[in-house]
Amino acid sequence: MRPTILRRSAAGAFAAMLLPLPAAMTVQTVTLAPARAVTTVDAGGTTSVPFTVTTSDGRALTAPATVGTLTFPAGAASGTVRALTVRAPTGGPSLARPLPLDLRASGAVLTNKPAVIVNAHGLPYLDSRLPVGRRVEDLLRRMTLDDKIGQMTQAERGAMAPDPAQVASLRLGSVLSGGGSVPTPNTPAAWVEMVNLFQAYALSAPLQIPMIYGIDAVHGHGNVYGATVFPHNVGLGAGRDPGLVERVYRATAAEVRATGIPWDFAPCVCVSRDERWGRSYESFAEDPALVIRMETAIDGLQDGGVLATVKHYAGDGDTEYGTGNGDFTIDQGITVTSRADFARLDLAPYRAAIRKHDAGSVMPSFSSVDWTEDGVGNPTKMHASRELITGTLKHDLGFDGLVISDWEGIHQIPDPSAPAGSPLPTATQVRVGVNAGTDMFMEPNTAPRFEELLRAEVASGGVPMSRIDDAVRRILRTKFEIGLFAHPYASAANAGQVGSAAHRALAREAVAESQVLLKNSGRALPLRKSAKIYVAGRNADDIGNQAGGWTIDWQGRSGAAIPGTTILQAIRQVAPQVTYSVDGTAPTGGADVGVVVVGETPYAEGFGDVGGPVCGWCTPPQAEPKSLTLQPGDRAVVDRVCSAVRTCVVLLVSGRPQVVTDQLGEIDALVASWLPGSEGAGVADVLFGKRPFTGRLPVSWPATVDQVPINVGDPNYQPLFPYGWGLRTGGGGSALDVLRDAAQTRVISGHGGLTWASDLAEADRAQTSGDNLRAYRLLRKVISS
């Protein structure tokens, strides 16, 4: 038996070896991590450098851990944060400098060594009492060529996030978020934390020139989950309310600032002349006079503390179909025009934006211009046009702000000398782009290459130092004027502004004003709350489709993309008897009225072009071909519901007109709802008469696809609904409003004369330009015909 006992004892010992050691016998490893990579401190001041202690087993420290003079005693819980107090020496005027620290650790491993920077002090450019011009010149003379080139460079957050120290090493002047480029989690607090991290690295450089963060917030702060998403500009143009537009953009500024961002690449002041363009909804109107009236958007942003960017200079909405870049059919194409027409249509909004609204930055267009005066066939890329950027914009219009390129804008400048497949940008593209007059270059993922090439161009004389200094002066002046030197860091204290109740109420008001009632036979609208309502159509309960492009993602996304109220939800909040069938196949059940909500799925530049490429990474519904006519499924729902319900109302949720001429006869009421955004209750407000319909078309509504492009002022102007058309409910209004109502009623009755469409359109254009007498005469002409 003894051998057996021995064998069992040996087996037990072996098994015991396989068991985990008791906690007391586990070797605990400890790490110390700084909570901030960079901390700044004033000369003679003190600051705290926080560290977090973490144990490998998650238990309290079994022994003390120290870093420098800071000690975490035994028994301190894993995750404890303590701060090392650091005092900076005093001294005379100085650039920023790192403070030497003894951060030797014992009993723990220091994950990385934080930097403590003693702030620059005592230098003229830091003295807020001095004029901005003097501060700029003092700073400029202290800058190396690397400092200056860095200020001219903007990189994307995604390229910087893996190693944010690049912001300092590249001396970046700016960082941006492209569409859909967001921190994790996508919350206001995370945005502020991210922006401040990049800023901390920018301020670790000797001159401490703050970086400026930029973003596309084109209809509210659409990149941020939970933000208020306002109607796109085409809807705001339909509202024709400059005061409302200013308030909308002021609210946008509040939400953008609340996430730590001081620069918005908006508003688009393009004049959209062809609805086949995938960015047409970013335009306020097809007529420059109405675009100019809506430029109160600039005031809303800048009075709200956000630098505005008017874009895309110039002619991006006036390019010819078939000239688009790559697979795009019209986007980034060619504006074929005379200089006189270009000035009248495409330049006019920029003249007003600069001289009346003092816009702080301008973004050139991807598009090209081809002057008819010297023969068609030799277009020039806007990013390469010294004539238009330096000559017209900076010299003739007197623009003294900064010019920021579009996303890799100079990469499209032709360079015949570059072999196919050459890395971009090329030296030629950098040289031409800088010399044309752009000041800061959006090089999302190629910032190091851009800086290297520009440095070589300056050394070789290809780019003169005078051009570099002009660009940097403009950038520095802008940063001083917006207060970035005084307040470089963002605060999370205003995070509650994002998606606030007040902003959503404002968006609801904007939605209601944007709705355009195109047809209203038998006074189908407004609806009775007590009516039995049958709702159908894919856009009735899809807030992503309702919001459109530039929402969460660059191209937007179908489905439950954002918080808010869909049109269906809004209808149900008002009317208790609602049946919903997405495809209209459910029984109508004796409904009094059918409300069909159809239209488009989200898109943005390029992929929104009619006949353009399909977005391969977007949601499946967005893969449908882009068109100026309803998709077959939408047409079927309209036919199905309008044939089954006595009164049929159709809402078109789209970024541009949809040709519905052949179905108009079966529709009792037709509404252009545009892209209303997050607050679908604004649509319900006008449907049920809580607010009146007051919107008017900011673009001409074609009768056929073959008519496109069609614009106010065209010869033989015969759209289905002319520019300025919009039926009103509720009465009241100005004398011209009442007169327009009478003129439209006359047209609906089958009269108005052969030129009624152009007369109504020109009357609206005259009123927009302030010529009320001409508007009165044109409306009277329609009434009397």
The string of pLDDT tens digits covering residues 300-314 is 999 999 999 999 999
Nearest by Cα to 409 from 346, 452, 362, 466: 362
pLDDT (mean) for 132-139: 98
Rounded Cα gap, residues 676 and 372, in angstroms:
39
In percent, how much of the chain has pLDDT > 70?
A: 97
- Average pLDDT of the chain to the nearest whole number: 96
**Range of weakest confidence among 19-33, 126-140, 142-156, 358-372:** 19-33
At 17 the pLDDT is 41
Q: Is residue 505 part of a domain?
A: no
User: Total structural domains in the chain?
Assistant: 4
Q: Is residue 2 part of a domain?
A: no
Given a cut of 60, whether residue 22 has pLDDT beyond it is: no
Residues 165 and 48 in one domain: no
In whole angstroms, what separates CA 131 from the centre of its chain? Answer: 33
At 15 the pLDDT is 41
Query: 277-293 burial, b for 16+ CB within 10 Å, e for fewer?
Result: bbbbbbbbbbbbbbbbb
Helix axes 296-303, 242-258, angle to 10 degrees: 30
Rounded Cα gap, residues 446 and 270, in angstroms:
28
DSSP state of 332: T
Residues 523 and 488 in one domain: no
Please report, for residues 284, 319, 559, 600, 709, the alpha-carbon distance to residue 626 in angstroms, rounded to integers and kept in the order given: 21, 18, 18, 8, 16
Run of H or E residues at 47: strand 46-55
Please say if 193 is a catalytic residue.
no
In percent, how much of the chain has pLDDT > 90?
A: 96
pLDDT (mean) for 230-257: 98
pLDDT tens-place string over residues 30-52: 999 999 999 999 999 999 999 99
Single pTM value for the model: 0.95
Residue 143, domain extent: 124-497
The total number of residues shown for the chain amounts to 785
Contact between 517 and 526 under an 8 Å Cβ cutoff? The reply is no
Q: Is residue 630 part of a domain?
A: yes
Rounded Cα gap, residues 647 and 641, in angstroms:
9
Joined together, the tokens standing for residue 335 give 């504006």
Joined together, the tokens standing for residue 404 give 């920021």
Residues 628 and 535 in one domain: yes
What CATH number does residue 397 fall under?
3.20.20.300
Q: Last residue of some domain: 77, 96, 116?
A: 116
Contact between 369 and 644 under an 8 Å Cβ cutoff? The reply is no
Q: Last residue of some domain: 116, 143, 165?
A: 116
* pLDDT category of residue 3 using cuts at 50, 70 and 90: very low
Given a cut of 50, whether residue 5 has pLDDT beyond it is: no
Q: Which of 241, 415, 605, 759 is catalytic?
A: 605
Rounded Cα gap, residues 290 and 294, in angstroms:
6
Q: Is residue 13 part of a domain?
A: no
Residues 142 and 110 in one domain: no
Backbone angles phi and psi of 595, in degrees to 5 = -120, 110
Q: Last residue of some domain: 467, 497, 527?
A: 497
Cα angle value 674/675/676 (rounded, 5°): 105
At 18 the pLDDT is 43
Joined together, the tokens standing for residue 705 give 């696809």
pLDDT tens-place string over residues 576-602: 999 999 999 999 999 999 999 999 999
Joined together, the tokens standing for residue 59 give 């238990």
pLDDT (mean) for 478-486: 98
Contacts of 648 by beta carbon, 8 Å cutoff, 6+ apart: 524, 593, 594, 596, 638, 641, 642, 666, 667, 668, 669
What CATH number does residue 688 fall under?
3.40.50.1700
Contacts of 345 by beta carbon, 8 Å cutoff, 6+ apart: 271, 273, 288, 315, 318, 337
Please report, for residues 335, 747, 756, the alpha-carbon distance to residue 784 in angstroms, rounded to integers and kept in the order given: 40, 11, 11
In whole angstroms, what separates CA 422 from the centre of its chain? Answer: 31
Residues 335 and 467 in one domain: yes
Residues 623 and 727 in one domain: no
Please say if 624 is a catalytic residue.
no
Q: Is residue 253 part of a domain?
A: yes
| Residue appearing with tokens 């409306």 | 779
Q: Is residue 383 part of a domain?
A: yes
pLDDT (mean) for 186-204: 98
Residues 399 and 529 in one domain: no
Q: Which of 255, 331, 406, 451 is catalytic?
A: 406
At 523 the pLDDT is 97
pLDDT tens-place string over residues 742-766: 999 999 999 999 999 999 999 999 9
At 731 the pLDDT is 85
Would you state the torsion angle of the CA atoms of residues 553, 557, 563, 569, taken in this order, to the nearest 10 degrees?
160
Q: Is residue 587 part of a domain?
A: yes
Residues 110 and 137 in one domain: no
Q: Is residue 502 part of a domain?
A: no
Residues 88 and 154 in one domain: no
Nearest by Cα to 433 from 383, 395, 396: 383
Residues 330 and 255 in one domain: yes
Rounded Cα gap, residues 409 and 425, in angstroms:
9
Residues 547 and 601 in one domain: yes
Given a cut of 70, whether residue 24 has pLDDT beyond it is: no
Residues 538 and 676 in one domain: yes
pLDDT tens-place string over residues 66-99: 999 999 999 999 999 999 999 999 999 999 999 9
Query: 588-602 burial, b for 16+ CB within 10 Å, e for fewer?
Result: beebbbbbbbbbbbb
Nearest by Cα to 263 from 203, 199, 334: 199
Which class for 530: exposed (0-12), middle (13-18), buried (19 or more C-beta within 10 A)? exposed
At 2 the pLDDT is 35
At 25 the pLDDT is 56
